[in-house]
Amino acid sequence: MKKFIALLLCGIFTATALTGCGSSSSAGENGEVIVYNWGEYIDPETLTMFEEETGIKVVYDEFETNEIMYPKVEAGSSAYDVVCPSDYMVQKMIENDLIQELDYDKIPNAKENIGAQYYEQAAAYDPGNKYCVPYCWGTVGIIYNKTMVDTPPTKWADLWDEKYADNILMMDSIKDSFMVALKKNGFSSNSLDESELQIATNDLIAQKPLVQAYVVDQVRDKMIGGEAAIGVMFSGDAIYVIGENPDLDYVIPEEGTNVWIDGWVIPKNAPNKENAEKFIDFMCRPDVALKNFEYITYGTPNTAARELIEDEDLKNSPIAFPDLTQYNNLETFLYLGEDGEELFNKYWKEVMSN
Amino acid sequence: MNRKLLSLPFIFWSAMFVIVPLCMVFYYGLTDKSGAFTFDNILAIATVEHSKALWEALKLSVISTVICLLLAYPLAMILCNMNVNQNSFLVLIFILPMWMNFLLRTLAWQTLLEKTGVINSILSALHLPSLNIINTPYAIVLGMVYNFLPFMVLPLYNVLVKIDKNVINAAYDLGANGAQTFFRIIFPLSLPGMFSGITMVFVPALTTFVISKILGGSKILLIGNVIEQEFTQTGNWNLGSGLSIVLMLFIIFNMVISVITDKEGEANTL
């Protein structure tokens, strides 16, 4: 039945496309590649470069969350050649047989330039690195305004400090908020233990009166504007906001945190597999990876690209490229199965409706 | 030429973008993930979290609707009593904000209301106490009233402006005072517009998730937020659709009332 709905949708879309403008898709001389990536997650110039060098037209589409992306790829009504999901979502796509194994001979730059330690980290969700080439990676930490705190925060528990009442920004994201609460109590962020989740839930509920707002992208503007003293943030955003407001600083909490990786995968139903490989290979080229890093400021796993960074401070930035061996309890999100996801959702709703 | 042909684009439009999506919502709402028939997604409204979110949404949208009505009624009457040139200008002023994107206007309110925002900067420069309503239900109600007020003013203005001045003069002639004229002549004649306005404010206010996100800091969970989350964060389309069906029942209930009271269809000539 689900297939039928998908087909129906497919029919409607093609019908509207046909009535709309006939055949408007003018593919490049060497065909096209359909890319599905996070919003604001690439330097658009690299796409033009790719088109010019290869003669392959890039059809570019963006998503906001992994969960919005997944059903579209699953339904198959709009086939993509390259998608950029996060760690646990890659695992889910592997388990549900939606993506295909990569042929590393066709993407030599990925083999050559991506650091071994990142492949190692990625193996947690993609054993043997068969499916996913890391594109960006980073940590989740605490961003704080030096002028608004007495002592710099060092641990997640500082987000429960009453002196920051109404000055705390949390993430409006199930996984990341629970990661904070679970890590604060020394549990795994992939915990499925109901008693541990219950403790985390109670903590989040207890924290709620102190929280100013649960935000996603707005955290950047709010921290830059001095609206809040302390908040949860991705490392890539941290580099950007510190550049805008030097009063801000970023710390990886001592209880440990989430190390996330977003990477390129090729769906099973990709219509232009060869072009997809060329695209991934191009994105792994050091100069291209550098361009993207400078544009989006999220840490690149491309060690060759990192060598090319001219700004020494940025090259050795502990925010963009933290030495992971210094920290304990770093974890990557894993796919917890449908039941596991539902458990998290249930507890998150409890937090939100309280 | 056959006139019925002219309705074809409309029929095509409604079928593709109203009927088909609606059927899909019902299909997802009444099945589980494996595609088997179930009422669970609809009954899920009974859980503590969902019913609380629905209650919050009903509460805030009713408050906003009442405030809109109280603000819009006198305004619509003032507009009616003005001469043509003045009032078309005023109506324009009222519609003007609607030319801007809804999201932008709501984000603008966030910038205004924030702790370090425009209003508080001015207040602190004048040594006045600061205004702390951002991320509270008050800010959500403010956002709803601001965004949906034109939808209340216009239908009210439309019915009020059509009331025959002779009817009002006749009332005065027969000895009614101002209050009697209002309550026995003007108010009953304006009811269709009022109910139309109530529907047009209540429905978007009840279903909104953007306003509570931007102005409420996601601290108050409305039913719209629950549904949005099911689609964007948890990927449970079935539950999201089931809850949407429940929400539709409330909207249909509201529409039925307004259809009954608006038999002549006067307010629909907007």
pLDDT tens digits, A137-166: 999 999 999 999 999 999 999 999 999 999
- ipTM confidence score: 0.85
No. of H helices and E strands in chain B? 14, 0
The pLDDT assigned to A164 comes to 96
Task: Identify the residue among A167, A219, A352, A354 best suited for mutation to test binding to B, counting B beta carbons within 10 A and taking the highest.
Answer: A352
Which residue in the set A173, A226, A353 is minimally distant from B221, CB to CB?
A353
CA gap A264, A81 in Å, rounded: 10
In a domain, B222, yes or no: yes
List chain A residues with CB under 8 Å of B115. 227
Residue B79's domain is classified under what CATH number? 1.10.3720.10
Neighbour-count burial of B195, counting CB atoms closer than 10 A to its CB (0-12 exposed, 13-18 middle, 19+ buried) = buried
Whose tokens are 């033009």? That residue is: A48
In a domain, B106, yes or no: yes
Residue A20 pLDDT level (bands cut at 50, 70, 90): very low
Residue B94 pLDDT level (bands cut at 50, 70, 90): confident
List chain B residues with CB under 8 Å of A218. 110, 214
CA gap B168, A127 in Å, rounded: 82
| Greater pLDDT, A9 or B151 | B151
Residue pairs spanning A and B at CB distance below 8 A: 72
Does the distance separating the beta carbons of A226 and B213 come in below 8 Å? no
Which residue in the set B135, B226, B236 is minimally distant from A212, CB to CB?
B135
Does the distance separating the beta carbons of A5 and B236 come in below 8 Å? no
The pLDDT assigned to A22 comes to 36
Hey, is the C-beta of A61 within 8 angstroms of any chain B C-beta? no
CA distances (Å), A145 to each of A142, A153, A249, B120, in order? 10, 10, 6, 20
In a domain, B19, yes or no: no
List chain B residues with CB under 8 Å of A174. 233-234
Q: How confident is the model over A280-333, as pLDDT tens digits?
A: 999 999 999 999 999 999 999 999 999 999 989 889 999 999 988 888 889 999
Nearest-neighbour CA in chain B from A309: distance (Å): 35
CA gap A44, A71 in Å, rounded: 26
Nearest-neighbour CA in chain A from B119: distance (Å): 14
For B206, residues 6+ apart whose C-beta sits below 8 A from its C-beta are B57, B58, B61, B223, B224, B247, B250, B251
DSSP 8-state secondary structure symbol assigned to residue A30: T
CA distances (Å), A146 to each of A224, A230, B190, in order? 12, 9, 59
Domain count, chain B: 1
Q: How confident is the model over B150-201, as pLDDT tens digits?
A: 999 989 998 998 999 899 999 999 999 999 999 999 999 999 899 989 999 9
Q: Is the pLDDT of residue A78 over 60?
A: yes
Pairing of β A211-215 and β A230-234: unpaired
List chain B residues with CB under 8 Å of A13. none
Helix boundaries (H) for A232-302: 235-244, 273-283, 286-296
Q: Is the pLDDT of residue B257 over 90?
A: no
Hey, is the C-beta of A349 within 8 angstroms of any chain B C-beta? yes
CA gap A349, B8 in Å, rounded: 45
For A53, residues 6+ apart whose C-beta sits below 8 A from its C-beta are A282
Does the distance separating the beta carbons of B16 and A64 come in below 8 Å? no
Does the distance separating the beta carbons of A214 and B218 come in below 8 Å? yes
In a domain, B217, yes or no: yes
Pairing of β A211-215 and β A168-171: parallel
In a domain, B57, yes or no: yes
Length of chain A: 354
DSSP 8-state secondary structure symbol assigned to residue B184: I
Cβ-contact A238, A250 below 8 angstroms: yes
Q: How confident is the model over A41-55, as pLDDT tens digits?
A: 999 999 999 999 999
In a domain, B73, yes or no: yes
Does the distance separating the beta carbons of A65 and B225 come in below 8 Å? no
Q: How confident is the model over B104-125, as pLDDT tens digits?
A: 999 999 999 999 899 999 999 9
The pLDDT assigned to A156 comes to 97
Nearest-neighbour CA in chain A from B226: distance (Å): 8
DSSP 8-state secondary structure symbol assigned to residue B119: H
Task: Count CB neighbours of A117 within 10 A.
Answer: 12
In a domain, B219, yes or no: yes
Q: How confident is the model over A85-139, as pLDDT tens digits?
A: 999 999 999 999 999 999 999 999 999 999 999 999 999 999 999 999 999 999 9
CA gap B154, B165 in Å, rounded: 19
In a domain, B270, yes or no: no
Whether pTM exceeds 0.90: no
Mean of all residue pLDDT scores within chain A:
90
CA gap B120, B126 in Å, rounded: 10
Domain that holds residue B99: 47-261
